[in-house]
Amino acid sequence: MNNVDTMTGFSELKETLSSFKCAEYIRETIMQLLNSKGDKLERLYQDADRVRQECVGDEVYLRGIIEFSNICKNDCLYCGIRASNRNVKRYTLSPDEILETASAMIGNQQTTVVLQAGEGSTLMDEEFGNLIRKIKQETPLSVTVSLGNRPYETYRYWRECGMDRYLLRFETSDPDLFHLLHPACTLEERLECLRYLIELGVQTGSGFMIGLPGETPEILADNIMLCRTLDLDMIGIGPYIPHPDTPLADEKNAYNGDEEMFFKALAVLRIFNPEAHIPATTAFDAVFPGVGRNLALQRGANVFMPNSTPVQYRKDYLLYPGKPCVDETADQCATCVAFRVESIGRTIGKGPGHSRKGRFVKGNSSPTVGK
């Protein structure tokens, strides 16, 4: 079998990855890497960092996230803003507030605004499309959207309005576990949405939570494989953290006591998805306060998503407990992020940080194929 232990550079990595003819070999190799300990674990982190450097460079792209509404019609079993959680004070920002918040990112080296909310928030599809148009007309920002499963026509309309990217995690690759956690949705429906987005030429991001109750190392390996099969432009992963006001309140993370697994998953993800944009997600800081996201950047990640939600709303968008930055202003977060990036010897990305995949023209979000 090919041995990822002996890689020395990107060309060799490409050769190694393309020589994996059989999915079983990839899965077995992923499992082996997820089991790394001692010197092998250090080697895994170094390899992931080197692959990140060779394939996506030293720049860290800042994508400011605005959590513009916590209204959600879904009841995902793990999620703190699920519809049945009566302890949440619900809010929705107006389009003007969102535009104003996005405009403030420009001075903070943030080249993308990420617009995220629960599913079925109070902004209508058309109103939201107009907002995308305005942001694209009035600012130089790229626009990433994260609003869950939507019909093809809605994605197409938002794409026409100027949406550059979309984030929709598949959460777990195991169909039974997926359905158990999302009573109103199947994995197939979620994957169908991802296929729509790819077909529409939207830069597409997905990913999963690490350690959902019921997850096995085999499922984790399959999650990493699914990211690779989908050939994603962006991949976001982060540890599952139990929220006290959900039906899973007492269900510990599947790797409770072995939190190193969160970083192992990230490092392996990078090695098997060399050209994807991978954020150091907030949940890493919730588990490892103050250092989680720095370590993630040193073990495969190349994107940071500072929280730009107006400070008075942040504590109401609590997907899980221990979420950092709930009391800081957007400016404080921006200063802190710049310091963190520089402290690990990296630079802040200057351009939009579009997809590195061949189907997109470099520096332009228009697809070169499929049109």
Site residues (CB under 6 A) for ligand SAM?
78-79, 116, 118-119, 146-148, 168-169, 171, 209, 238, 240-241, 243, 283, 319-320
The answer to whether residue 177 forms part of the interface with ligand FES (CB under 6 A) is no
Alpha-helix residue ranges (DSSP H) falling in 277-362: 282-287, 292-298, 311-314, 330-343
Alpha-helix residue ranges (DSSP H) falling in 162-240: 175-181, 187-199, 217-230
- Nearest distance, CB of residue 70 and ligand FES, angstroms: 9
- Nearest distance, CB of residue 140 and ligand FES, angstroms: 30
The answer to whether residue 81 forms part of the interface with ligand FES (CB under 6 A) is yes
Nearer to ligand FES, 61 or 178 (CB): 178
The answer to whether residue 187 forms part of the interface with ligand FES (CB under 6 A) is no
CA distance 7 to 17: 11
Which of the ranges 14-22, 72-80, 95-103, 285-293 carries the binding residues for ligand FES, by CB under 6 A?
72-80
**CB under 5 to 8 A by kind: which of ligand FES, ligand SAM, none does 211 bind?**
none
Q: Which of 82, 190, 340, 346 binds ligand FES (CB under 6 A)?
A: 82
**CB under 5 to 8 A by kind: which of ligand FES, ligand SAM, none does 122 bind?**
none
326: tokens are 């709930």
Q: Which of 34, 48, 79, 163 binds ligand FES (CB under 6 A)?
A: 79
281-291 as b/e: b if 16+ CB within 10 A? bbbbbbbbeee
Cα dist. 82→117, 241, 257, 355 in Å? 12, 15, 27, 31
The answer to whether residue 324 forms part of the interface with ligand FES (CB under 6 A) is no
Count of residues engaged in binding ligand FES, rule: CB under 6 A = 10
Q: Which of 118, 129, 211, 279 binds ligand FES (CB under 6 A)?
A: 118
Nearer to ligand SAM, 205 or 353 (CB): 205
- Nearest distance, CB of residue 346 and ligand FES, angstroms: 32
Assign 149 to helix, strand or coil: coil
**CB under 5 to 8 A by kind: which of ligand SAM, ligand FES, none does 66 bind?**
none
Cα dist. 192→21, 185, 186, 195, 262 in Å? 26, 11, 10, 5, 27
Assign 314 to helix, strand or coil: helix
Could you write out the DSSP letters of every residue in 229-257? HHT-SEEEEEE----TTSTTTT---TTTT
Q: Which residues contact 96 (CB under 8 A, 6 or more apart)?
A: none
Q: Which residues in this chain contact ligand FES in the complex, by CB under 6 A?
A: 72, 74-76, 79, 81-82, 118-119, 148
